[in-house]
Structures are given as structure tokens and as C-alpha cells.
Structure 1
Amino acid sequence: MSLPRELPDPFLPPTPAQTEAVDAALLTRRSMRAFLPNAVPRRLIEELLLVASRAPSGTNTQPWQVHVLTGAAKERLSSRIQAVYADPEQLAQHTEEYAYYPSQWVSPYVDRRRKVGWDLYGLLGIAKGDKFRMQAQHARNFDFFDAPVGLVFTIDRVMAQGSWLDYGMFLQSIMVAARARGLHTCAQAAFTQFHRIIADELQLPAEHMVVCGMSLGWADPQAVENQLVTERAAVAEFTHFRSE
């Protein structure tokens, strides 16, 4: 699959319908944690990855590598991780290769983190202190929340911090392109703890590092966890205008 010979003219003003479509894809993107079993055609996956590949990257380095897992391949990876996750002794031997979160939390970030966690658990009827059900819910990450497609993203270890910024834009582009096609996603840093299992299962070259995973598929509209809508700070809280 390749891009059209003639890309859309970037200098033409967008129509109201085009603006509305882009806004809708952005505003309806959220992390879904329950998916229908309906398969996603390979051509559709290739199409959204093709569109997302137009994401910007410094000097056009395009630092992303995508591993698409479906069927038995996805089940094998999930089974291996679940077996380790269920065994405390084995689990203790697996740690993240890079720090996704800060080592010391401060407000307002820790408050937002706690709120989204308790909002999700509240929807699921998981009470504070119910560690068994919390762990069971976290374990669903490793089944890609039953999505028919699991994506694993890797980056060459030689690439530096700027390329990770580029990678974030690529991930966002995938999620927005997915929404434009009626699909939903959930980006998952949880997989990074099991980078050694992933590297072995996918036969990754030593120079490749796991960035994250992502669930992709048709969201289950009846699943209560999919009703979670996280809050966002007002524009005035994070924007600083300067004119002089």
C-alpha cells in the first residue's frame, strides 16, 4: 500500500466538514478497555498506519517500528506475560527498561493520576483496598483488553530523547486515524515491564527497545469501563500568551 500520487493540497482551506471530522476524531479518542471480538481487516490496519506515517519527525528520521499481532501470535505473547504476572517470584524479576512515570509525584499530576484510577475502579465496582480485583483489572492489559489486534512499538536504542517526542506524535496519529475509521485504541505503557518476554517472543534485534503496546479494535459500547471520560484542564490553566 502506498500514498496517493497526489497528496491533498495543504494550502487549500479546509471545508467545515473536514474540520468537524478532525475535531470529532480527536474528541472521541479515549482509552477503551473492552473490545468486541470482530476482526480488523489487515488492509484497514495498513491504511491507518500509512496515514499515521505522515507524523512529523526531526529531519524525517521516522524512528518507529510497529509489530502487529493478531490470532495465535497475540495469544502466545499474552499467555507468556500472564503466566509471569500471576507468579510473584517471576514478576519480581521483570522491571521497566525506562522510567515512564516520575520517581517522585507532586500535584497536580498525582491528583489526576489518582482520580482517573478511582474513577475507573468506581465504574467497575472495585472498592479501595480490593487488591485482588485491582490486579485482575491490570492484568487485562496483557490480553490487550480482548482487542483483536495488539500493537507493539519499538525504537532503535541509538535514538535520543527527541526521537521519543517524535514517537509520541506517531502514536497519536495512529489513534486519531483509527478513530476516523470507527476503531478505538488504548495505548499501554504496562507492557514495558515485560520487555524481555516481548523481545524474545517477537525475536527483536538487540538494538531495539520496547516503547509501549496498544490495543486496537472495535470498542464494546456496552462495557461499563468504556464509559470513562477523563477530565481535562481548562486551556487557561496550561496556556501562557505573550504579546510583548
Structure 2
Amino acid sequence: MTFKECLDNRFSCRDFIDYELSKDELINIVELAKLSPSATNMQPAKLSFFSGKSLAKLSDDLLNAVKNNLKSQDIKLYPDIWFEPYKSRRFQTGIRLYEALNIKRDEKEKRLEQWHKNFKFFNAKNLAILHIDNGLNEGSLLDCGIFLANFLNAATYLGFSTCVLGSITEYCDTIRENGVEGKIICGIAIGKKSSDNVNNFKTIRASNEEIIKFI
């Protein structure tokens, strides 16, 4: 697989088959992601892996936190007020995703059921929580972003699918109660994709004119 093929093949998997990665398979992904650069070689990124009983308990606890609105967020992932072009990009992505799921706008129960699948990790049998030590500043988030991208691409290269889960980080205290320490950045569902149509959905990329400025 070439580098471009790896980037082209990576997507956010929203339905996984019943396949649990071994510790060795997870370590193989990490070994590649560890090659990521970081400021002064700090290497702040840390991963806590869940599977089996620990995964099931975390899912139950998160769903309970959602039900009881027990929010606790370490890092804000989204703006307080959406503005362009980000508002339109988010809106269009949502529309196209629910079209792939064959869920109409007025089907509120189906939309809620789909939202709750985030907290079931889309049936993945492995979950990683990306986190950093308390006391580290915003620069370490940049390092973690680089590590995260390489982790996702490494998983793709090795034949696995992933989905970054920002939704679960609205409940950081619940995640910490399940053994994760420090600041929670995101979750990563890991496994092998199913043939469900939702996995054919891919997001649209911005044009070069929108993101490039030559000075």
C-alpha cells in the first residue's frame, strides 16, 4: 500500500464486525505511530486500551452519563458559536451521513439511537483513549494530533479500520473513573469494517483555494 493509498483508504468506520485485535496487533500500530515527531521529543501522547469486560463497563458507564447528563469536558472540540465555513461543512456532513444511514430528519428516535452508537463504539471490540498528563500545555495537543493521524494511518496500513470518537470526551470524569489518567483528548474505535452501507460514506474535502494562501 502506497502512502496515498493509505490516506485514500482511511475513513471513519461506523460499523465494525466481531473482531478483537490482539495485544500484538495493537502494539504493531503503536510502534508505527511512535515514529511521530514531537516538540523537543517530549512524546506526550498516551494510550489506554479497552476490550472485553473493561470495554463493556466503559460503554455502560458512558451511556448512563449521557442519560443523566453528567458532562465533564477537558478540551473543547468545537466552537461555542458555529460560523462559516465550518457551520456549512458540519451541516453538509451530517446530511450526507444520515442519508447513508437512511435516517430522515424527522426520525428523532432513529437519530438518537444512532447517536448512542458512539458510546457503544460502533460495535468495535477495541477502544483506545488518547490522553496526556496533567500539567502539559496546548503545544502537547499539537504533538498528539500528529500522533493520532499517524496512528489512524498505521492502522489502515496494517488492514484495520478506525473511528475517532470526540463525543465520548464530553464525559471525561466517567472515562477517568474507568482507569484513564490525565487530560482526555479523544477515543479511537479500532477493528475491522463491516459491509454496512454506512461504511461507504466519506466526507468531502475543502478545495485548495479554501485552505491555501501564497504570500
**TM, length-normalised to structure 1:** 0.84
In the aligned structure 1, how far is the partner of 2:178 from the partner of 2:24?
24
Aligned counterpart for 2:51 among listed residues 45, 70, 77 = 70
**For residues 60 and 130 of structure 1, what CA distance do their matches in structure 2 show?**
49
1:127 lines up with 2:65 in the alignment: no
Distance 1:58 1:84 in 2: 35
In structure 2, give the amino acid aligned to 1:33: R
What SS does structure 2 have at the residue aligned with 1:24? helix
For residue 184 of structure 2, what is the aligned residue in structure 1?
210
Separation in 2 of the partners of 1:156 and 1:35? 30
Unaligned 5+ segments in structure 2 are: none
Which of structure 1's runs of 4+ aligned residues deviate more than 6 A?
A: none
5 Å-filtered alignment, 1:102-121, equals 102-121=79-98
How many Å separate the matches in 2 of 1:108 and 1:43?
42
Q: How far off is 1:168 after superposition?
A: 0.5
- Give the structure 2 partner of residue 226 of structure 1: 199
**1:184-206 deviations in Å (ceiling 9; x for gaps):** 1001111111111110111x44x
- The whole-number CA distance in structure 2 between the counterparts of 1:215 and 1:36 is 12
Aligned equivalents of 1:167 and 1:104: distance in 2? 25
Where 2:131 maps in the other structure, the secondary structure is strand
How much has 1:37 moved relative to structure 2? 0.6
Alignment size in residue pairs: 215
* 1:41 positional shift: 2.1
Give 1:84's aligned residue. 65
Residue 21 of structure 1: aligned partner: 2
Aligned partner (choices 41, 51, 56) of residue 22 of structure 2: 41
- Return the alpha-carbon distance in structure 1 between the equivalents of residues 5 and 83 of structure 2: 33
Query: CA separation in 2, counterparts of 1:121 and 1:237?
Result: 26
> Which AA in structure 2 matches 1:230?
T
Partner of 1:13: none
Q: CA deviation at 1:132?
A: 1.7
Structure possessing the higher radius of gyration over alpha carbons: 1
User: Which ranges in structure 1 are unaligned for 5 or more consecutive residues?
Assistant: 1-19
Q: Distance in 2 between matches of 1:22 and 1:98?
A: 31
CA distance in 2, matches of 1:97, 1:175: 22
Which amino acid is 2:49 matched to?
A: V
Higher relative contact order (CA 8 A, sep 6+): 2
1:139 deviates by: 0.8
Q: CA deviation at 1:96?
A: 2.2
Tell me how far apart the structure 1 counterparts of residues 106 and 74 of structure 2 sit (CA, whole Å). 28
Give a deviation string over 1:158-189, Cα, whole Å, max 9, x none. 11111101100100000000010110100111
Distance 1:177 1:97 in 2: 27
